[in-house]
Every structure is written in structure tokens, then in C-alpha cells.
Amino acid sequence: MASKISTLVSTKWLFEQISQGMKNLCVVDSSWYLRSAKRNPFEEYKQKHIPGAFFYDLAANCDKTSAYPHTIQSPDAFSKSIGKLGVSSDTHVVVYDASDKAGFFSAPRLWWLLKFFGHKQVSILNGGFVKWVSDGYDVTDEIPEVNEAQFVAKFHPEKLKSFDDMMSNIKEQKYQVMDARSKGRFDGTSPEPRADIKPGHMANSINMPYSTIIDIENKLFRSPDEIKKIFEEKGIDLSKPLTATCGSGISACILILGAHLAGKDDIFLFDGSWVEFFLRAKPEDIHSIIH
């Protein structure tokens, strides 16, 4: 069954599955936004969402003992948080978010988390909630009842890179590092969304804003061939080791998803991303074009 699961599903496909009462389907709104967006994802979900969809709070479901935002939960904690939505080992999860800029922002994070914890039957709604609405499909404010399920997460730490790994790699350069943040934040010319964090980047990293692999006009992921070409133009070799980073581990997952669509699955994530690096690195390890 897992082999038949498409990474991206269309609004038409999802509408048909919901209409036909597809068994073992769980649709999840995992919207999350930067503070500057001034949006409350759960309040928006309560007002309107795809019929039958549940809400997964990425901000709440993280390791609260960590000094950094969005740090991955323990396997037990993730099992409980996702099991509360009725997700079990045989559930096909379709995730989406309501980002109006690109159709994607936080949904790839939940896609990645599910994959990280061993769940293979997960897809992303191509175009997200914005496309669902623009295609004329119904929305609702009715929150569905949940039949909680048992989810058993399997921890895969080998898919992560730590701060120490990233520091060592600056000298050793054993793997490429791609940064999903905007050019301004990467260069140091635009502010970070968190007041205590200054912009910039780590040495030898490659700036690849997540929007580059998305057809912004149509709110859809670009084709695998287009994505491969974009990686190549950025100087990223998909045949070699690769790590993704961003501000706090959210948009990096868009690049991981893009590389997956292009045929590369062995990608690492620096989960603490720029927030952790900035807070822990020495000043001389913070690079920008303005100093």
C-alpha cells in the first residue's frame, strides 16, 4: 500500500476520496506562521477548513524543554500528539496549510515529522488550502469528532544534524548545507522575525529560498525536472550528502520535500537551524555581507 502513496495529491483527488468516504484517510491542517504574519492558525481553522480535517499544532507539539523553537518531540510525545488525531500505522495522512504566499509553508514540516518517525503513508495537498478554495471546493467550520488511535513512532536520529555537526562541517565540508530563508535574512540585510536573533548565515552554506522550488503564481510545486535544474543552478549536487536548515526547522522541510520530489531522500535536517546556530556560535562564525 505504501508504494502507491503519492507525495503530492491534487485537490481533485482529495475531494474524490472525501466524497467516496475513503477509509483510513486523515486530513490534517498543520498551518503555522511567523509572528510577523499576525495570523492565528487555530482560530482560522475553527472558522473554515477542509471538511473532515483535523488541526495539528506545530507550535504546541514540540519539545518544550528545549531552548529552541520547534525542537522535535520524543517518540512517545509525538505518538500521543498524532494519535489524538486518529492516526495509526495504516492511516493515509494528507497534510496541508493555509499559507497564502506559496500554498505551502508549514505542511512539509508535518510531512517530514511523520516520515522521520517512520510513517510512510503521508502526502501533501498540492497547492494547499488556498488552491482548495480557489478550485471551488466546500469548506466548513464543523470540527470532526476524533477516534483516537495508537501510533508507534520510530526514532531516526541519523536523519538529524546537531550544532556540533554543523560547526565541524564548516571546516570538513563533508556535506552541502542549503538554507531555505530569504536572501535578505541570509545575507544579513533583512531582519530575522525574532528580535533576539540577528540575520546572517554559516560559512559555506548555500542560500536557496524555499519559494524557488514553488510555482508561486499557481501555488504548486514545480516539476521534478524543474526542481533538479534549480538545485543544479544553485550549485547543489543531489548525488552528494546534503543538509537543510532555515530559521527554526520549518521551511527547511520544504527543501527536503523538493529534493525528495527530485529523487533524493538521504537529506539531513539541522533542526535547531539558524536560531540555535546564532545563539551558540562565536561572533566570527556569523557571516553576513554587511560586516
Residues catalogued as catalytic: 246
Say if CB 140 and CB 20 are below 8 A apart: no
Kind of pairing between the strands at 122-125 and 206-207: unpaired
291/287 Cα distance (integer angstroms): 8
Query: Looking up cell 510525545, which residue turns up?
Result: 77
Q: Which distant-in-sequence residues (6+ apart) come within 8 Å of 243 by Cβ?
A: 161, 166, 169, 175, 176, 177, 178, 267, 268, 269, 270
Q: Specify whether the backbone of 41 is left (phi greater than 0), alpha (psi in -120 to 50) or beta.
A: alpha
Q: Which distant-in-sequence residues (6+ apart) come within 8 Å of 145 by Cβ?
A: none
DSSP code of residue 290: T
One-letter amino acid for residue 176 of the chain:
Q
Cell triple for residue 6?
Answer: 503519492
Say if CB 125 and CB 96 are below 8 A apart: yes
DSSP code of residue 83: H
Query: Looking up cell 486518529, which residue turns up?
Result: 86
DSSP code of residue 179: E
Cell triple for residue 34?
Answer: 511567523
Query: Looking up cell 536560531, which residue turns up?
Result: 275
